Amino acid sequence: MRKHLSLAITLITLGSLNVSGQTLADSIYQQNQKILKILESSSVSTQIFLGYRYFMEGNDHFNEFAVKRGYITFQKSLNNHISGRITPDLTVDQEGDGEGDLEMRLKYCYMELKDDGNYWIFSNPRIVVGEVFTPWIDFEEKINSFRVVGSQFMDKTTIVSSADFGFTTTALLGGMVDKTYQNQVSKAYPGKYGSLAFGVYNGGGYHALEKNNNKVLQWRLSIRPLPEVLTGLQFTYTGAHGKGNTNLYPTWNLNAGILSYEHKYFTLTGQYFKGIGNHTGEFADIDGKSYDVSGYSTFAEIKFFNKKISLFGRYDYMNTDKVTEKVKSTQEIIGISYHIYGRNQIVLDFNRNTKADKTVDVVELMIELGL
């Protein structure tokens, strides 16, 4: 009797262990499936600029190998309407105890709400909230893809910042341009009749503390007048209104007009701006009275050999009308690029910067890694 009872208990125990083991295996499998599902709607990408630079200022020469800039982007879609993005910005510390160190700071950290529907003339509306892109620079970087050479004109001159804390809302106008144009030229802001963007921000930029109670308005309206004939032609008006980011509340107003044309084998842009002050508040006197500022920039790119080789050039001019003097600054860029694959390219460029009769020339051999 005891032998039969012992055998029964053993069989029951083994059966329980088998069931428990099967349950554990199922649980692990289910967790793995959940992780895979999360990863399916997530992405990681990089944009890193590294290479060799040779500086010439009068009789002084200097050269270095450098990681000029880097971005690592993490994106996650929760569903068809909600997503998030985090982009650390890798840059070289220029001052303090960490001078020369590569430091990482956040450039983008936002939640995005979007809709693929059409509402009157507006299509594909979206809003991003957090540390976000601003209306003009994000649009311009989709046209001039040589961020590896330097910042865009109004970003470099600190008239506006490429990112800030606040919100940006965008929409396309009149649906989308045809797929052929999107595949061969550009998929960025592909509104058939253009696009628009509007936002409210702290105003100091993405790597500045808020130093006053002012909030800044920025906007952009881009019109594509001949989508069936000259699809790549766009006229853009962009501007800003608010105060510079100091406790003196200096006036910051900006109005700019831009003409751009994108083609399969070439890109042309021209822009002119006029305003008072800038987003940092630095273009003002000690009493907080802002200086008048104005400037223009042109950019051209020509592509050869099935778009593997690009010749490009850019010219910037800016005038700052201070109380006692006018300060003029210019930048001249000319270069050649070999496009390896996607955003990966090798760039050789010459860059001349002149301000107040001081000229610095730079020759660069840079690699852009887009992984």
293 in any annotated domain: yes
pTM, 2 dp: 0.87
16 in any annotated domain: no
CB count within 10 Å of CB 135 equals 27
Tell me, what CATH number does 342's domain have?
2.40.160.10
145 in any annotated domain: yes
- DSSP assignment of 184-227, as one string? HT--SS-BSSEEEEEEEE-SS-TTS---SS--EEEEEEEE-S-T
DSSP 175: S
Sign of the CA dihedral running 17, 18, 23, 25: positive
136 in any annotated domain: yes
Residue pLDDT tens, the chain, 371 long: 444 545 444 444 445 445 455 676 677 777 766 656 666 678 999 999 999 999 999 899 999 999 999 999 999 999 999 999 999 999 888 777 777 788 889 999 999 999 999 999 999 999 999 999 999 999 999 999 999 999 999 999 999 999 999 999 999 999 999 999 999 999 999 999 999 999 999 999 998 999 999 999 999 999 999 999 999 999 999 999 999 999 999 999 999 999 999 999 999 999 999 999 999 999 999 999 999 999 999 999 999 999 999 999 999 999 999 866 788 999 999 999 999 998 899 999 999 999 988 999 999 999 999 98
H-helix or E-strand containing 33?
Answer: helix 2-40
pLDDT, tens digit (0-9, with 9 covering 90-100), for 7-29: 444 444 445 445 455 676 677 77
Enclosing domain of residue 292: 42-370
Give the pLDDT score at 11.
45
Give the pLDDT score at 2.
46
Give the pLDDT score at 9.
46
257 in any annotated domain: yes
Give the pLDDT score at 5.
44
The number of domains in the chain is 1
177 in any annotated domain: yes
157 in any annotated domain: yes
35 in any annotated domain: no
Contact 205, 211 (CB under 8 A): no
Q: Could you tell me how many helices (H) and strands (E) the chain has, helices first?
A: 4, 17
Which phi and psi angles does 234 have, rounded to 5°? -140, 140
